[in-house]
Structure 1
Amino acid sequence: MRSNELEVLVNWGDTDKAGIVYYPNFFKWFDIAGHQFFRSCDLSPAKLEEERGIIVPLLDVQCTFEKALLYDDLITIHTQVEEMNRKTIKLRHVVYRDGKRVAYGYEVRGWVEQSAEGIKAVIIPEDVKTILSKNIHVKADENRPRFNA
């Protein structure tokens, strides 16, 4: 399945009083990595909304923390499609520092049509499934420069 990487430099504001990354930042980084993943597929959330009337809201998220991160750590978030169902996409995120895993988790996003009548989950079209199923990996340096969240 398709995957990509995003580099993030840990900022001072990402840490707590003890100098350790405050846990909600992992969820912020997962969200950023997920959006960057869709951009790398030419399916940016803005483009999906404008061209298809589709939004990809977050339905579920989970993270397991294995090692502490500190100010000025450079991390790489590897994002991959783990599962596609009829109306949802599950993205697996793995966070690395110096090539060693420090955290991992997932996001489940809905494929949701937005119209004047409201929003409703709809079936993911075949062209999108084909794009997301391709065995393509976009490395961080090919993707975008280091991201300061």
Structure 2
Amino acid sequence: MNSFSWPLRVYWEDTDAGGIVYYANYLKFMERARTEWLRALGIEQGPLQREHGLMFVVVDVQSRFLRPARYADLLQVSCEIEKCTRTSLTFRQEVSRADGDADRELLVSGSVRVACLDSARMRPCALPDVLIKQMKVSGDSDAQ
């Protein structure tokens, strides 16, 4: 599962006074897509922390805002692993307006790097091999 997409409806709470999605909310949308991607793989972040002492934290974000989303828009938020190292995953993410598959309009593109931390020490730690296999990381992977 190298690419994942999550549908999302824009609610009033996501917008500013003009009905346009507030820029910081795109980061929330991207977070939801990454969380749902993990969930689709059978990985829940709560048990990951409780049972394995691991957690993912965002350490770098780059985004490019191309067009605004508006109240009631149906969006598709995608995530794809761009790079995997022993201690981090870099995701390429896009937010598109979903007016049908042929009519998708790219609104925001970005890159999000998350580090794997030992939750007790709050220090970087290696992604377990079993987790890497479960994520089916392939291609541009440095995690050997």
TM-score, structure 2 as length reference: 0.85
Deviation of residue 18 (structure 1)?
2.1
Is the 2:9–2:73 contact (alpha carbons within 8 Å) kept by the matching residues of 1?
yes
Go from structure 1 to structure 2 and tell me whether the alpha carbon gap of 1:90 and 1:114 turns closer, same or farther (over 3 Å shift): same
The ranges of structure 1 where at least 4 consecutive aligned residues each deviate by more than 3 angstroms after the TM superposition are none
Q: 2:109 aligned with 1:104, yes or no?
A: yes
Is the 1:4–1:40 contact (alpha carbons within 8 Å) kept by the matching residues of 2?
no
Identity of aligned residues (%): 26
User: 1:113 is matched with which residue?
Assistant: 118
- SS for the counterpart of 1:31 is helix
What is the distance in 2 between the residues matched to 1:19 and 1:100? Answer: 18
Deviation of residue 2 (structure 1)?
2.1
Count of aligned pairs: 133
Higher relative contact order (CA 8 A, sep 6+): 1
User: Which letter maps to 2:40?
Assistant: S
User: 1:78 is matched with which residue?
Assistant: 78
User: 1:9 is matched with which residue?
Assistant: 9
Deviations 1:52-110 (A, max 9, x none): 11010111112211111110000000111111011001111111112221111121111
Runs of 5+ unmatched residues, structure 2: 139-144
Deviations 1:24-62 (A, max 9, x none): 110111111111121111122112112211010111112
Q: 2:34 aligned with 1:34, yes or no?
A: yes
User: Which letter maps to 1:42?
Assistant: G
User: 2:129 is matched with which residue?
Assistant: 126
What is the distance in 2 between the residues matched to 1:34 and 1:82? Answer: 13
Is the 2:84–2:137 contact (alpha carbons within 8 Å) kept by the matching residues of 1?
no
User: Which letter maps to 2:72?
Assistant: D
What is the distance in 2 between the residues matched to 1:82 and 1:132? Answer: 13
TM-score, structure 1 as length reference: 0.82
Q: 2:96 aligned with 1:93, yes or no?
A: no
Go from structure 1 to structure 2 and tell me whether the alpha carbon gap of 1:101 and 1:19 turns closer, same or farther (over 3 Å shift): same
User: Which letter maps to 2:112?
Assistant: E
RMSD: 1.6
Deviation of residue 8 (structure 1)?
0.8
Runs of 5+ unmatched residues, structure 1: 136-149
- SS for the counterpart of 1:80 is strand
